[in-house]
Structure 1
Amino acid sequence: MASAARSIIRVIDLETTGQAPPVHGVCEIGWQDVALQPDGRWELEGEGGNRLVNPGRQIPPLTMAVHHIRDEDVADAPWWHDVARPILDPWPRRVALAAHRADFEQQYCTASLTRGADWICTWKCAMRLWPSSPGFSNQMLRYWRKPEGMVHERGLPAHRAFPDAYVTAHHLRDMLNEASVAQLIEWSREPGLLPRVRYGPDRGKEWSEIDDDSLHAFLGDRDADIRYTAEQEYLRRTGRPAVRREPAPQGVLL
């Protein structure tokens, strides 16, 4: 009898013409699988890959300067909808998809293309599992944690789809060997829980170090991650949920 196919989580990275569809489009997708091994641990599996994509519009110089993909590189490439589904919904059936700051990838990798897949955000999970890191970008985690088994050259150049997916896959592997798939998905569905204050007089402090007045001000912040983190700290201090405050409108000085 043939052995059952292994469970995989496919790490995705996109290079695009800008920040959000429909104004912007995908110009490259990269992937790397992480698979559950017979001994119960997770490891990278397969060679991964990448595909160039015709975004259907010109690539602005600002984004070319980041990923160095030019209009002529993608002129004869296939369209996004012709490329996306086989990569996003591979066989053997993936348990979930993953990306670093997955909210960005999910704008382009819609539920119709992923068949409603669950997502793991390695950025959000890194803040939960490794809060002492000096930063939580893909590359900061790479050089701070120095994941075992990473081939340095395969993770270069940064800001290209396969190398970035390859780096993220090492973070995901280590996360999966510390926490369950269900836990990582649950954390990924919440806003980010920030270990330290991002701006203002308390910048760089842990949330437990700031005074009550500063904490109350953050409860109305426009940034969802900051609001959520302030709410969790308020709950820790008082034992009761914070009353949700509407973010201050743009142009209003507090």
Structure 2
Amino acid sequence: MTTASETTQVQLAFDELGTPLRDTTFVVVDLETTGGSAEQDAITEIGAVKVRGGEVLGEFATLVDPGRGIPPEIVSITGITDAMVSAAPTFEHVLPAFLEFASGAVFVAHNSGFDMTFLKEACKRYGYPWPKPAVVCTVKLARRVLTRDEAPSCRLSALAQLFHARTTPNHRALADARATVDVLHGLLERVGSIGVQSLEELMDYLPEVTATQRRKRGMAAHLPEEPGVYLFMGPREEVLYVGTATNLRRRVRQYFTASETRPRLREMVALASRVDFVTCAHPLEAQVRELRLLSAHKPSYNRRSRNPNHSWWLTLTDEPFPRLSVVRTPRPGALGPIRSRRMADDVVLALQEVTGIRPCTQRISATRPTGKPCALAELHRCQAPCAGRQSVEEYAPFVVTAQELVAGLRTRPLAELASRMEVLAQAQRYEQAAVERDRLAVLVRALDRAQRLGSLAALAEVVAARSDGKGGWLFAVIRYGRLASAGVAPRGVRPMPVVAQLVAAAETVLPSDDPLRGASPEELGVVLRWLDQPGTRLVQTSEPWWQPVRSAGRWRSWLARAEAAVPRQRTTSE
């Protein structure tokens, strides 16, 4: 771990802060409309000027047919009449040309909220993705830069006069955009004199950034532009917050800019005394290190630290008539991990339904049952071993069914539940059929996840590779579900010697006897998702990576159809 000292005394070079303003392309845009509602009104004219380094690169302007009459009060302001726009193109035809003209640029507008709202609504209406550009509002910037004495009003006409704009704004789109260009340049000269020389610094200068955030931006000066994990440290050397980044410097800088608006993290930044970091070979290693640091330090400002033991497991109790129990600690043969107690309870109900495991919680003697049949026995959903109506030998097949279902050796109970669902649907008992469908979906999801994680955790060693997109390779050595080593082979470097070095230096992992061999469910899940990504290759494995033929994986296509039919339930149950 690298520790920085006196980070607040480091001054970043302007080029390190991001894109210099002199190299930033701005598109200054202005719209004229039939009214103030983006949903109800329409655009009548658009004007835009593209500038970089004080030089005009191009202009874009056209009248627009709004498809409706222009109100008289708007005509009196803009001078644009129905006759003027009758032969003009509609904005549906203008929009793609404007988006191409403005591609990759920073948008600038005077009172940008108005113009951006109309442009976003137009993109939504005509099926174009909003490019999500950085947006500079000259009204907000003027209020930040100018005193009340200098500019009692921040109207475009007043600012154009203050900065001696070459074009007088007249409520026509191109003229107003040209005037806004001169206002923008005048405001940039003001902020440049106090050290704002890059686009990131300009966004940082907006009023939303607290003084503390701005004062502590030097904390990112020592961070490399590499993937890794960063740790905000408190005044007593405590870890306040842990995060990952593909570019450490760029990500940490965002905490000191207007993009960070969360009060909780602004409070964290105010407490922080420095930022430590750990560089990583690639994002997978960063994610795993983040999980391990969260577990070790439990930072107070990470939400995931509030409930670190959030996995649940289902196990059969050790008694003559075993029942399902929800526990925190995994045991051999247990089903899990399950993300919430509510989900675990749902899986219990589903397992009881498909296997015949008794739902009651009382302990039952094998020789002297003393209970009385409950309502479930009357409904033929339990054979009442508590009352002596079922022997240990007669109950044992239910236990075996549950064990084989969890182990991936049997799926017939799933098919039987699906058949019952179909019968109910054909009988037009749709609500009950939906209950059975949801119950089956919960069970399939839990079984499939458990079996996939368990199959990976059972492997003594897996070496996997992914392209880095630049002709090189990213490698991961995984042992019993844990990331034991990570590295890269850049373009031009022979990959297999790198693999040999990573395997030789990899962490020694001793497995336990629980279903995940002692691996953290969170880390195992991160590793599995990395392996599942298209393009990942298995370089070598200690033994074949396999799942039983009768595992729940055979039901993934059914599960996908069920989730597509009820998208809301997909989000609540995952």
* TM-score, reference length from structure 1: 0.62
Secondary structure of the residue aligned to 2:54 is: strand
Q: What amino acid is the match of 1:12?
A: V
Match in the other structure for 1:123: 139
Listed as ranges, the matches of 1:215-230 within 5 Å are: none
CA distance in 2, matches of 1:100, 1:163: 13
SS at match of 2:153: coil
Q: Tell me by how many angstroms 1:186 deviates.
A: 4.7
Q: Out of 171, 174, 182, which is 1:162 matched to?
A: 174
> What code does the residue aligned with 1:10 have?
V
RMSD: 2.5
Question: Is contact 1:119-1:188 (8 Å) kept?
Answer: no
In the alignment, structure 1 residue 171 sits paired with structure 2 residue 188: no
Larger Rg: 2
In the TM superposition, residue 29 of structure 1 has moved relative to its aligned partner by 0.1
Judge conservation of contact 2:47–2:59 (CA < 8 Å) in 1: yes
- Cα distance in 1 for partners of 2:176, 2:206 equals 19
Distance 1:189 1:76 in 2: 44
Q: How does 1:18-167 map to 2 (within 5 A)?
A: 18-35=35-52, 42-90=53-101, 93-110=103-120, 112=128, 114-131=130-147, 132-147=150-165, 150=166, 155-156=167-168, 158-167=170-179
The separation in 2 between residues aligned to 1:128 and 1:61, in whole angstroms, is 36
Change (3 A) 1:18 1:189: farther
Any gaps of 5 or more consecutive residues in structure 2?
1-22, 210-269, 271-574
- Please report how far the alpha carbon of residue 175 of structure 1 lies from its aligned counterpart in structure 2 after TM superposition: 2.9
3-state SS of 1:107 partner: helix
Question: Which amino acid letter does the alignment assign opposite residue 26 of structure 1?
Answer: I
Per mean C-alpha deviation after superposition, the further-off stretch among 167-176 and 25-34 is 167-176
- The amino acid across from 1:79 in the alignment is T
Q: Offset of 1:166 from its aligned partner?
A: 0.1
TM-score, with length taken from structure 2: 0.28
SS at match of 1:169: helix
Deviation at 1:99, TM superposition (A): 0.3
Task: State the structure with bigger RCO (CA 8 A, min sep 6), 1 or 2.
Answer: 1
Q: CA 1:15–1:114 in structure 2 vs 1: closer, same or farther (change >3 Å)?
A: same
Answer whether contact 1:33 1:46 (CA < 8 A) is retained.
yes
1:15 paired with 2:27, answer no
Read off the aligned partner of 2:118 and give its amino acid letter: Y
> Take 2:87 and 2:177, find their aligned partners in 1: how far apart are those partners?
24
**For residues 80 and 55 of structure 1, what CA distance do their matches in structure 2 show?**
7
Deviation at 1:30, TM superposition (A): 0.3
Count of residue pairs brought into register by the alignment? 174
Secondary structure class of the residue paired with 1:109: helix
Distance in 1 between residues matched to 2:203 and 2:91, nearest whole Å: 26
1:218 maps to none
SS at match of 1:135: coil
CA contact (8 A) 1:32 1:44 kept: no
**Is the 1:44–1:170 Cα contact (8 Å) retained in structure 2?**
no
Question: Hey, what does 1:207 align to over in structure 2?
Answer: none
**What is the CA deviation profile of residues 44-75 of structure 1, one whole-angstrom value per residue up to 9, with x for unaligned ones?**
31352410111111100010100010011111
Contact 2:160-2:169 within 8 A present in 1 as well: no
CA deviations on 1:159-211 (whole Å, 9 max, x unpaired) are 000000000011112333423322444566959xxxxxxxxxxxxxxxxxxxx
Cα distance, 1:157–1:100 mapped onto 2, change above 3 Å: closer
Contact 1:12/1:31, CA 8 A, preserved across alignment: yes
Query: Structure 1 47/186 Cα, relative in aligned 2: closer, same or farther at 3 Å?
Result: same
The Cα shift of 1:136 comes to 0.6
Q: Which runs of 5+ in 1 are unaligned?
A: 1-5, 36-41, 192-238, 240-254
Instruction: Give, in whole Å, the separation in 2 of the partners of 1:158 and 1:120.
Output: 22
Q: 3-state SS of the aligned residue for 2:162? A: helix
